Structure 1
Amino acid sequence: MQFQNTLAFAQQLDAQDELRSYRNEFHFPKWEGKQVIYFTGNSLGLQPKLAQSYVDGIMNDWKELGVEGHFHSDKPWWDYHERLAAPLAKIVGAHAEEVSVMNTLSVNLHLLLVSFYRPTKTRFKILCEEKAFPSDQYLLQSQVRFHGLDPKEAIVEVKKREGEHFWRTEDILSKIEELGDGLALVLIGGVNYYNGQVFDMESITKAGKAAGAMVGWDLAHAAGNIALELHDWDVDFAAWCSYKYMNSGPGNASGVFINKKHLGKDDIPRFEGWWGTKKETRFLMKPVFEPMATADAWQISNPPVLALAPYLASLQLFEAVGMDALIAKRNQIVAYLEFILHGIAQEVKGSFEIITPKERGCQLSVLLHGHGRPLFDYLMQHGVLADWREPNVIRLAPVPFYCSYEDIFRFGQILKDGILLQND
């Protein structure tokens, strides 16, 4: 398609957009009485209008039924989390029994590493990407220290090449081969939070498994954003937050994937609690843990249903639309944003560059040259909610569920005006 940088063309694309009505299913913040241009779904997704009714339903059941809501409400609380497994499985490419929802992302990664990082005297290395999200760095360092190892010896970071803003898959595969029998775990963010790069998860997983390592993925920026086939790729485990592209609300519950081959085992190392024991005998209060035959075996406590309610509401929208349709629009709307940015870059030479490679999802990261935070502040002061990452990157994520092509055009005009104003 031949894009045009005009309002009429953007509105034409919106008129042709089969998902355009879903914009009305979300609440938008306002700026000067108008909806903001919201490009931070990679940080916190907008609230689905359906979420309030799901939360209100639980509040009403609590009011009317008290403790009996666990078993006699419209959506009984004791197995509320099970309603999320099937729709999530479609999104991440899994069997329903391989998926559960519990805790928050970093908590779940810690719990999963109890099971899947089992270092030995000779096989103890962990491979991750250079400058992973800080929480991942902290949890890997603390896990390594917990096992009495030195993070400087145990954690190996794959670096970008000099002068490049992205990782090369061949460098990751080469490092896996180099570590060989010493590699215990590969744990990488499936989509890098800073530059928006989508890693070749299939190839990296295959190489990691061939080396005899466990392979896991932090899918915080991937779930609900890109196509995933965790089961078919033979991933051992994965976890993701639900508040970015999944639109479940700030700091909300995390999803986990645990490959079927690891399920139903009594002898797997695991931190255990009451809610992971067999559902059929849970209330017999047996003294010995009997794991659920699903990923629910990793649950420790009963589900936080007030947190899960907006997540379930959002998943109903994913069920209605499907990932294929979301990805198709994502590809086009991000391409249109890229077109607009390239056009502005030609007009205001040297002001910025896009550092996101062609392997991408919703996000484009823009590296500023000579402007920095004041340009970002200008955008925010003119109704654009974008995201700033030190030292000089603006992250832009036009989420296909609720962003429009007109948003892209209007953003381009505001960005150009801000650069020209600061160049004066």
Structure 2
Amino acid sequence: MASLAQQFGGLKCPPFPATKNKFSNSKNPHCTALPKKRRVIAPAAAYAPNAQTRERMKLKEMFEEAYERCRTAPMEGVAFTIEDFHAAVDKYDFNSEIGTEVKGMVFNTDANGALVDISAKSSAYLPVREASIHNIRHVEEAGIVPGLIEEFVIVDENEDDDSLILSLRSIQYDLAWERCRQLQAEDVVVKGKVVGGNKGGVVALVEGLRGFVPFSQISTKSTAEELLDKELPLKFVEVDEEQSRLVLSNRKAMADSQAQLGIGSVVIGTVQSLKPYGAFIDIGGINGLLHVSQISHDRVSDIATVLQPGDTLKVMILSHDRERGRVSLSTKKLEPTPGDMIRNPELVFEKAEEMAQTFRQRIAQAEAMARADMLRFQPESGLTLSSEGILGPLTSDLPAEGLDLSEIPPAEDE
């Protein structure tokens, strides 16, 4: 009977009557209703784990074992000890003193400079001010980009983080002075940009260095303000790195550019200024002097009656002092007849090339006579002078005492 009651509603009938309680059944006071048990369902994985779960559990166990080894025995199984590491660093460490040159690779750039890997214990930094001999705003303007391998020099150390301060500027500075000394020895013409000036001259940048060009060494009569930001052809006058002294000359450079114009060449010039002793003529950037005595065969008492600033005329080169950058000019040698420069300057300019050719022939004739005179008194040289002025071996049909010069007309008086 009791078992049947339990099958229906979980009723339990005690064998003896009991007092009524809150669990009593009103219809059957002898039966007490028990609370139903809550059914708990366990996860299926706990009873039947699948392959993925088993793999995760395995990885978890491996991680826990590795963590425990790192915590308790971090160097277990490692052949390279910490002592070996310090020994290797000491063995391959380099001199990091200021002034030492090191090779490094740029691996990052920013607005203020670049980070450089120099295989040192501490990092290295290249500030933008030390990145180039020229004034730049960003290191990439000087071609400094990640991946660049270059030679740097250590110039300072940052005490805050023990990082090294590198420089390319100091290396370029030394190379620039060396380059200037080489260019001076080769006596070549360079270009220099005018970046400043004072009452004595202008300052020009050459090979990244600031050089001084005195006004006395500038071929034009321009002011410093007029020459600012312009490029001038220059030659080196003085290169002294110890004194940081670099002196240049525009006049020498311009004279060198006209070196192909030898004595007797005709050039076109412009009158720049008049002085009591002559006129300064600009001939393609060179200031040549047309002395008052070389204006005309006739006497010129007042230059202003013949020439005015701004006049264009043809002149002939009389001499060219390349060392001092001076050129002497003449219109006197171009006159078909004496005084034409005063009376008819247009005729002088029209016949200029023809008269210059005559002048050059006279010069060649004078040189030939000088060589003949030398041979006259030195027959032992074994040379003779042909009628064309060419030196050659002494022939048997000529007298041993030298060449008979009686047939050679004397040079005309200049």
TM-score band w.r.t. shorter chain: under 0.3
* Bigger RCO (CA 8 Å, 6+ sep): 1
TM-score (norm 2): 0.22
Greater helix share, structure number: 1
Q: Which has the larger radius of gyration?
A: 2
